[in-house]
Amino acid sequence: MVKVTIDGISIEVEPGTSILNAARQIGGDIVPPAMCYYSKLEGSGGKCRTCLVKVSKGSEKDPRPMPKLVASCRTTVMDGMEVQNITSPEVTEARKGVVEMLLINHPLDCPICDQAGECHLQDLGYEHGAAKTRYEFDRRTFDRIDIGDKIQLHMNRCILCYRCVFTADQITEKRVHGVLNRGDHAEISTYIQKAVDNDFSGNVIDVCPVGALTDRTFRFKNRVWFTKPVEAHRDCEHEKCSGKVTLWYKGEDVLRVTARKDQYGEVEEFICNTCRFDKKKTSDWVIEGPRKVSHKSVISSNHYETLHPLPVVKTNPVLLEANKEQFERETRL
């Protein structure tokens, strides 16, 4: 076990743990945000630079600080390491710069985007006061691509986190999309607009931190914050699928089915395409109860935490009885 101190909070972790995961073991405000790192996907991380932290003391043996800010998702902890995240103004400043860089080619079309309200880039932008952009030049634009009949790719919004590529590599059997070109020209695409059709391809929608990959069956159906998330499960025939999902209700209709996400916006268990796209009736599911939504999220607005909310008017049996008598008397008259 190695001891690491993050923002003055010490914790003992396994050797080889990244700083980000050590911070997540502590939890709370000191966890660096991550746009590309995904704990369930091997090899993810190191692309977006939002998880930058300052290492003020390298280790017990070599107490020199690291010369530059490091990406916490790719830096492993050393014994006696001291890390500064929110306590260092340098880090918050750098992170603000990173957000601004991510927004250079991002179209900021949140009023149209279906991801708005659960978008990590939106949260990050607002957290760092960089919800606007100073960039005046033409952004790179692409036509939107339909990857199959269920998934839509808006390359404009992509921040090239590579999560979807890792998902396709590791969760599905065959990957048919990937990153074409290099550097500034890099884009997620499929050659010859090939349809992604295998049982787990829908998970790329959930892992996408922005609105680049969205559910075509939910396209413009409703805004996320007007729908009501409900936890549900079903016995899925697919051996790899857990069948544990979140249903997004509007009235009596299930508008969308997603996997359950934890506090870092990561999917708890991947679900198959049958659960995601084909089972959109209440009768298909066993309802567990409303999903707990953080009060910081816009989705929590006007939502009740109980399945059957308390009545607006408290029922008064005495009054009911009296009213019934009154009603009977009046009808007789």
Partner 1 sequence: MEPLSNKRKVIEAKPLNFWEKAYIPAIAQGLSITLKHFFKKDVTIRYPEQEREFSENFRGLHSLKRDEQGRERCTACGLCALSCPAEAITMTAGERQKGEENLYREEKYAAVYEINMLRCIFCGLCEEACPKEAIYLDGPIVPSDYLRKDFIYGKDKLVEPPLNP
Interacting residues toward partner 1 by CB under 8 A: 109-112, 116, 219-223, 225-226, 298, 301-302
Closest CA to 121 of 101, 93, 136, 141: 101
Q: Which is nearer to partner 1, 12 or 109 (CB)?
A: 109
- What is the Cα 115 distance to its own chain's centre? 9
Unique residue bearing structure tokens 């690291």:
66
Q: Report the alpha-carbon distance of residue 101 to residue 111 in Å, rounded.
A: 21
Q: Report the alpha-carbon distance of residue 173 to residue 78 in Å, rounded.
A: 36
Strand partners, 256: 248
H or E element: which one contains 205? helix 203-207
3-state secondary structure of 319: helix
Strands annotated E in 85-129? none
Shortest distance, position 178 Cβ to partner 1, whole Å = 26
| DSSP of 8-52 | TEEEEE-TT-BHHHHHHHH-GGGSPP-SS--TTSTT--SSS-TTE
Shortest distance, position 112 Cβ to partner 1, whole Å = 5
Shortest distance, position 291 Cβ to partner 1, whole Å = 19
Q: Which is nearer to partner 1, 64 or 132 (CB)?
A: 132
Shortest distance, position 220 Cβ to partner 1, whole Å = 4
Q: Which is nearer to partner 1, 3 or 221 (CB)?
A: 221
Q: Which is nearer to partner 1, 232 or 255 (CB)?
A: 255
Q: Report the alpha-carbon distance of residue 163 to residue 11 in Å, rounded.
A: 29
Shortest distance, position 330 Cβ to partner 1, whole Å = 25
Maximum separation of any 2 CA atoms in the chain, in Å: 96
Shortest distance, position 161 Cβ to partner 1, whole Å = 24
Q: Report the alpha-carbon distance of residue 187 to residue 32 in Å, rounded.
A: 26
Q: Which is nearer to partner 1, 66 or 110 (CB)?
A: 110
Q: Which is nearer to partner 1, 156 or 273 (CB)?
A: 156
Shortest distance, position 117 Cβ to partner 1, whole Å = 9
Strand partners, 84: 54
Q: Which is nearer to partner 1, 112 or 180 (CB)?
A: 112
Instruction: Dig out the tokens for 107 from the structure.
Output: 């179209």
